[in-house]
Structure 1
Amino acid sequence: LLRTVEYQKGVPHGRYREFYPDGRLRAYGTNMNGARDGLGMEDYLSGKPLRKSFYRAGKLHGVVTEYYPSGVIQSETPYIDGEKDGKVREYSEDGLLVYERDHRRNLESGKTRHYNAQGGLYREYDYKNGVQHGSMQEYLSDGKLKGTYECSDEKREGRGKEYYDTGELLLEGIYENDELNGPVRIFHKNGKVRIRSDYKNGLPHDNAWREFYETGAVRWIIPVKEGKKEGAAKEFHPDGHIKTVGTFVNDQREGLFKNFDENGVLVSDEVYDKGRLTRRTEFYPSGKIKSDQYFYENLLPPGEGGG
């Protein structure tokens, strides 16, 4: 037996039941004058509820509630005359709210909110007649605004801005498919540019990646490839004079780095092996050696040093 249906005057009217092949109840509800009406229930094979629906004259009318096999609510969807209308809510298996989506006449319209794993607001979008429009807002875990972005299909697409948790502008750049792609500027809290770089697939990728002091003066110029420093680098004093020159390989200092004071006088030479300092030679202003030190694991070996 897979189904029982009560009839009146040749049309379904009254209770109906549907069963799994092993005989356990799968669904039940009522018909009125040939159409579903009132409460309709569907169960898992375990007997726990899968879906609870309400009908009026054969159309969904009321809140449809779907459940995880554990019994926790998975979603709540309001209907009016067969169309989604109102706030649709989706939940995690832990019972935390994941999405809220406003609907009007079966189309997503209004605010859509996406929540993080802790239940806090993560992203917020605007929809109109089923189409996303306007900007997207993203929030930090404490609820403060992280950024505002042009977006498409709930992904960052176009110009975006991010902010410090104190409200100052932190970043300004271009997004493609939810990742930074193109020119990006990162700011100090005083509004001056701190980093200027091109990005590719969400990572810095620029032959002349630049970092700046809070005054606006250049601090570093370094080639960066796929997020890693790679090539000849220069560091500057705030007055613009060279401070350090050297080479990065795979995001680590490699080989000789030369350090200068504000007047351009050589202060020290440093030698690196895969980012580890192995030797430092310091100089007097006259150019004579002041000290010559070798390092193991960034520590001065006992008895070694120089004058």
Structure 2
Amino acid sequence: MREGEIISYYPDGSVQGRYPYIAGKNEGENVEYYITGEIYQKSTYANNKWNGATTIYYTDGALVEERMYVNHTPTEIWKKYYQGGVLKSEIPYVKGKQHGIEKAWYFNGAWIIFILLYIKDNR
């Protein structure tokens, strides 16, 4: 049974990820790294499932994507960003399915005219 922090490594010996375990289950904040050492992703687990925020980063530390989960199920509005920090898209989730209006922006911040409407996981 796994207990404590599990650390995975790249072939060169640098840390690939840190994963906390309690009573054999992934519990708490997982942190994964680029081979160069910068944080790639932080995600929260409870009872071996995504539960809470997951954040993905560019190598410079800027946000790539923000996601939310409840009991391993996608929820709330997921956001993606361009390298310069400009919002790229917002995708709404309800009970694990894309639901509502997906919005997208150009790199310069101008809103893209098209939108996608999801109802019961259909476009």
CA RMSD of aligned residues (A): 2.8
Q: Distance in 1 between matches of 2:75 and 2:108?
A: 27
Segments of 5+ residues of structure 2 without an aligned counterpart are none
Residue-pair matches, total: 122
Distance 2:48 2:80 in 1: 24
User: Which structure: larger Rg?
Assistant: 1
**CA offset at residue 228 of structure 1?**
3.7
1:202 aligns with 2:75: no
Percentage identity across aligned positions?
A: 28
Counterpart pick for 2:21 among 151, 167, 171 = 151
The structure whose residues are more often strand, as a share, is 1
Q: CA deviation at 1:144?
A: 6.2
Answer 1 or 2: higher relative contact order, Cα 8 Å, separation at least 6: 2
Structure 1 residue 250 displacement after superposition: 5.4
CA-to-partner distance for each residue in 1:236-282, whole Å, 9 max, x for gaps? 11222211322134556x2xxxxxxxxxxxxxxxxxxxxxxxxxxxx
> Letter of the aligned partner of 2:108 in structure 1?
D
Partner Cα distance (1:199, 1:160) in 2: 14
Asked if residue 175 in structure 1 is aligned to residue 45 in structure 2, the reply is yes
Aligned to 1:164: 34
Matched-pair contact (CA < 8 Å) for 1:136–1:156 = no
Out of 223, 242, 255, the residue aligned to residue 92 of structure 2 is 223
Task: Tell me the alpha carbon deviations over residues 94-146 of structure 1, each in whole angstroms, 9 at most, x when there is no partner.
Answer: xxxxxxxxxxxxxxxxxx9xxxxxxxxxxxx6xxxxxx44x222356997643
Equivalent runs, 1:1-307 vs 2, <5 Å: 132-133=3-4, 135-139=5-9, 145-206=15-76, 208-243=77-112, 244-249=114-119, 254=123
Cα distance change, pair 169–203 in 1 and its aligned pair in 2 (3 A): farther
Q: What letter is aligned with 2:81?
A: F
Task: Give the partner amino acid of 1:222.
Answer: I
Q: Tell me the distance in 2 between the aligned counterparts of 1:224 and 1:139.
A: 33
Q: Give the TM-score normalised by structure 1.
A: 0.35
Q: CA deviation at 1:178?
A: 1.7
